[in-house]
Amino acid sequence: NEVKVRQRVVPIDPEEEADFERELRALTQESFESRKLELRTRPTLNMTLPMNVLDHHSRSGVEEELGDEALDEDGSGGNKEVSFKVLVKRGNKQQTKQMLVPRDCKLVRNTKQNEAAESEE
Amino acid sequence: EETVGGDDDSNYEFGKGVFSEHACKYCGVQNPACVVRCNVPSCRKWFCNSRGNTSGSHIVNHLVRAKHKEVCLHKDSPLGETILECYSCGCRNVFLLGFISAKADNIVVLLCREPCASGNALKDMNWDPSQWLPLIDDRCFLPWLVKIPSEQEQLRARQISAQQINKVEELWKTNPDASLEDLEKPGVDDEPQPVALKYDDAYQYQNVFAPLVTLEADYDKMMKESQSKDSLTIRWDVGLNKKRIAYFVFPKEDNELRLVPGDELRLRYSGDAAHPAWQSVGHVIKLTAQEEVALELRGSQGVPLDVNHGYSVDFVWKSTSFDRMQGAMKTFAVDDTSVSGKAYVDITEVTIVIFGVLAKDDELMSERKDYFKHMGHMALEEQDVILEGYSYIFHQLLGHEVEAQVIKNPLPRRFGAPGLPELNASQVFAVKSVLQKPVSLIQGPPGTGKTVTSAAIVYHLSKTNQGQVLVCAPSNVAVDQLAEKISATGLKVVRLCAKSREAVSSPVEHLTLHYQVRHLDTSEKSELHKLQQLKDEQGELSSSDEKKYKALKRATEREISLSADVICCTCVGAGDPRLSNFRFRQVLIDESTQATEPECLIPLVLGVKQVVLVGDHCQLGPVIMCKKAARAMLAQSLFERLVLLGVKPFRLQVQYRMHPSLSEFPSNSFYEGTLQNGVTIVERQSTGIDFPWPVPNRPMFFYVQMGQEEISASGTSYLNRTEAAHVEKLVTTFLRSGVVPNQIGVITPYEGQRAYIVNYMSRNGSLRQQLYKEIEVASVDSFQGREKDYIILSCVRSNEHQGIGFLNDPRRLNVALTRARYGIVVLGNPKVLSKQPLWNSLLTHYKEHECLVEGPLNNLKQSMVQFQKPKKMYN
Ligand SMILES: [Zn+2]
Ligand SMILES: [Zn+2]
Ligand SMILES: [Zn+2]
């Protein structure tokens, strides 16, 4: 039971696009520069992974609940998404939140490469 | 106390408050997974992550244009209510934030690019900073963090352009609460934007119609409130419900709104030595044949019953109907479930297929390009998007090109319905095709059995078991007629009346909700009955009893309504608070060509999935009093626009009203000759009636009148004395020949002439005065939808240089010519009328059939009057 709707596509005005891109870059650049000036000394990082997150997983890094097909190597037949955990702070507490990240996202490819490298070591 | 027992409507706002706070300020998308809130304290607006027609997503557009840098996720999004900030240093500048992942484990964290994600410290801590992924990528937020609205949601959304975004951002700098509508508000003296054929989205639709409805409402208010009349004479009476009724004559003029039952008036007496000043509000419950208004007063205290003269009356204007139209448009725009409804689905569930432009449509394409260029759009390309079925009607109403869709209702074996006459072939065809289509138009020319066909359709829709069917029409008369027919099929019908009309008598009283509530005779209801009785006797209840009474009544109303197969009400009535929790998948609107679009929308936003519009765009449309709104085409019905968009109406083709000689001209002029006769000459012979028709078996003639028109006493209308005198002679001849008064209708387009004829007949008629009083003399408009055996049409206009005014509208002529069953006489000046092409062809038609005559009635002769050359038709 599908409906076909013909929709207009308004082409993007290249001038508007260029103008917008310029402003976006300027804002990003400005943020970056001001940051460099404002922080002379590097703050210390508290980036250790919380143990409770790591405990439940095998060293391979693949989450068990994802099942077999979750990370099959060619990446075409299985899920389009991989389950990731986002590390956040709630007050002073560390927490992780489950999030689905598309398989072709750079983060996913990265993690897999690292895993491969680590298992070779 | 006047407010007790009054309308509950006053504190109910139809369609208000449906817009969620977290809807994208640009486009209205409100899926929590797709929106984020700008976290700048002075801003806090929500935006979505779709690009729409711009190069960056809406949220990124906002942040860049407003130079705001912090955002917060929605509480119902996967991460919950979260301000995006650097995990390490707490920096909230989204232009600096990005994700990195842990070397092992599928864990990511948000870090600022400088300084936290740079430098070497991370490497030693199991993190991999080499791939820092910015939060804003390709001018969008990462789509897995903030979802991109589905194609479906984006199609529903407001189509905002980059220019509009820049403008509204500018506006927000000085007025943070401004809306996009403020950008387009016309100035006081500007002409409003006219209605369009197609709309980008429901917001644009609303932006066009809302100002027009406001204009009409303002005009209506101004006009009605200025209609105060002084020095009225009252005749007092008491109704069966013991309420006071005031009878009085309410003089009216052309272009003035006529009072209708249900109207609210305030009656005032300024007081004298023996009486204090007094006033009371009441509802018009009827208009008598003697043109008296019957006003039922709400309160009976202190009524100066012994005074009959010196009263004043004001109109109490109510905005209810206009409010409901506005509410319906708002609901249509912001509530996904209002039309072909279902809440938004997860984007992964929707199949989206995008096609290229089909080559064969080139011609259409270039036409459309011109149209869009004309409309100031820059649209040059198109695409087809396949969506799930539920948004079909939504897009159809906006004029988007939607591929035909079939509803898989099983077809019945018989298309007629119990209790109704057998259907003819075109009626069967109409019923059959309607059942499987989501949107259908049925055109019912005069006398073609529109009501029977509608009732049969409703019967079969109801048998598909998709819940209650909603049946509407703009006028109460039409709703009553249809309710009666539907009830005859055996379906359970509830006729919902406005509270203000509960005292107005109805031919289908037993079907009305208020009657059924009063007569539901079960023991549980005895409490309600007791309270009702008490209220009737005392006029009011204690406040605790009143509360109890109202709650009981509401529950009973709901129970009865829920048990019905079909609910019938006016289009405006569909916005009644008593239906606010009801959903109707199937809606039929009769006389839909007499409703404005916003009016038609009211019954549609209750979740319609299948709609049938019945009407005839070749007859008169809705009356729009405000000239500005009329120029902007508010009078164009939804039915008409759908026809213009290419939806083909099913035309009922057999007429059962007119003598075949009478249907010939209307069929050829208005219906491409398709109208067939379901009655024979023999069935329409006036047996025993001795009337001097110039051609036997052709009961029609054009009676040539050369008398001049005059301006009426009021200065706002016209009359024509010679025509009036001849109308009286015709009426007298009919009456003498054995026709009774209620078989005759006198139609004239001018109020001046109407009043003059009524007066003239009663003074100069040679028969009993009472007979003339019983003859209905009225405008073309008030005869629409009705019929008489004999019609006398007085055209009035007769002048050398001016136009023919009201008579210029072909639709009005069509209605005037198609009211008669047995015979028609048209009185007019052929020299004047023949300038107009349609009248020219009507005159030619009469002449060719030797029915253009002059002279005394007992010696009619063919007229040799010369016609003028018709002017070219324009419009
Ligand atoms: Zn902001
Ligand atoms: Zn948006
Ligand atoms: Zn940081």
CB B560 within 8 A of CB B513: yes
Give the tokens for residue B276.
């204090």
* Amino acid sitting at position B435: L
Q: Tens of pLDDT along B73-97?
A: 999 888 889 999 988 888 899 999 9
User: How many Å apart are CA B788 and CA B662, to the nearest integer?
Assistant: 13
Q: Choosing among B105, B116, B351, which should be mutated to test the A contact, i.e. which has the most A CBs within 10 A?
A: B105
Neighbours of ion ligand 2 (CB under 5 A): B 24, 26-27, 29, 48, 58
Average pLDDT over residues B5-15: 39
A112 within a domain of the structure (yes/no): yes
Q: Which residue segment(s) compose the domain that A99 sits in?
A: 51-120
Q: Residues B485, B491, B492, B494: is their CA dihedral positive or negative?
A: negative
Contacts of B385 in chain A (CB under 8 A): 4-7
Measure the CA angle with vertex B417, ends B416 and B419; round to 5°.
125
Q: Tens of pLDDT along B142-165?
A: 998 999 998 878 888 888 888 889
| Residue with the two structure tokens 């750079």 | A106
Average pLDDT over residues B603-612: 91
Nearest to B88, CA basis, from A40, A61, A99, A94: A94
For residue A6, the cross-strand partners are B384, B401
| Residue with the two structure tokens 């005059």 | B710
Domain count along chain A: 1
Q: Tens of pLDDT along B422-458?
A: 999 999 999 998 998 889 999 999 999 999 999 999 9
For B5-149, where are the E strands, in sequence order?
A: 35-38, 46-48, 71-73, 97-102, 107-112, 127-134, 136-137, 140-141
A114 within a domain of the structure (yes/no): yes
Greatest alpha-carbon pair distance for chain B in Å reads 119
A15 within a domain of the structure (yes/no): no
Q: Domains in chain B, please, with CATH?
A: 32-184 (no CATH), 234-309 (2.40.30.230), 321-398 (no CATH), 430-650 (3.40.50.300), 655-862 (3.40.50.300)
Chain A CB within 8 Å of residue B88 CB: yes
Average pLDDT over residues A14-35: 88
Q: Tens of pLDDT along B341-372?
A: 432 222 222 222 222 222 223 333 344 334 33
Q: How far is B63 from chain A (nearest CA, A)?
A: 9
Contacts (Cβ under 8 Å, ≥6 apart) of A6: B382, B383, B384, B385, B400, B401, B402
Confidence of residue A67 (pLDDT cuts 50, 70, 90): very low
A95 within a domain of the structure (yes/no): yes
Nearest to B426, CA basis, from B410, B448, B407, B441: B448
Measured in Å, residue B719 CA sits from the centre of ligand 2 at 60
Chain A CB within 8 Å of residue B773 CB: no
Nearest to B54, CA basis, from A22, A14, A24, A25: A14
A43 within a domain of the structure (yes/no): no
* Amino acid sitting at position B401: E
User: Within its chain, how far is the Cα of B289 from the centroid?
Assistant: 29
Average pLDDT over residues B576-584: 88
Q: So what's the ipTM on this one?
A: 0.80
Q: How far is B21 from chain A (nearest CA, A)?
A: 25
Among the partner-chain residues A5, A9, A61, the one whose CB lies closest to the CB of B105 is A61
User: How many Å apart are CA A6 and CA B197, to the nearest integer?
Assistant: 15
Half-sphere exposure (Cβ direction) of B310: Cα atoms closer than 13 Å: 11
Measured in Å, residue B97 CA sits from the centre of ligand 3 at 8
Is the pLDDT reported for residue B379 higher than 60? Answer: no
CB B49 within 8 A of CB B57: yes
The CB density around residue B327, as the number of other CB atoms within 10 Å, is: 21
DSSP per-residue codes, B630-667: HHTTTT--HHHHHHHTTPPPEEP-EE-SS-HHHHHHHH
User: How many Å apart are CA B277 and CA B275, to the nearest integer?
Assistant: 7
Contact across the interface for A31 and B67, Cβ inside 8 Å: no
For residue B439, the cross-strand partners are B611
Measured in Å, residue B393 CA sits from the centre of ligand 2 at 23
Contact across the interface for A16 and B110, Cβ inside 8 Å: no
A94 within a domain of the structure (yes/no): yes
Measured in Å, residue B130 CA sits from the centre of ligand 3 at 16
Task: List B residues 334-373 in contact with A (Cβ-Cβ < 8 A).
Answer: 351, 372
Q: Residues B290, B293, B296, B301: is their CA dihedral positive or negative?
A: negative
Confidence of residue A1 (pLDDT cuts 50, 70, 90): very low
Task: List B residues 33-62 in contact with A (Cβ-Cβ < 8 A).
Answer: 53-56, 60-61
Average pLDDT over residues A42-60: 56
Is residue B598 reached through a cis peptide bond, with omega within 30 degrees of 0 on the bond before it?
no
A88 within a domain of the structure (yes/no): yes
Give the number of the ligand closest to the Cα of residue B50: 2
Measured in Å, residue B154 CA sits from the centre of ligand 1 at 22
A14 within a domain of the structure (yes/no): no
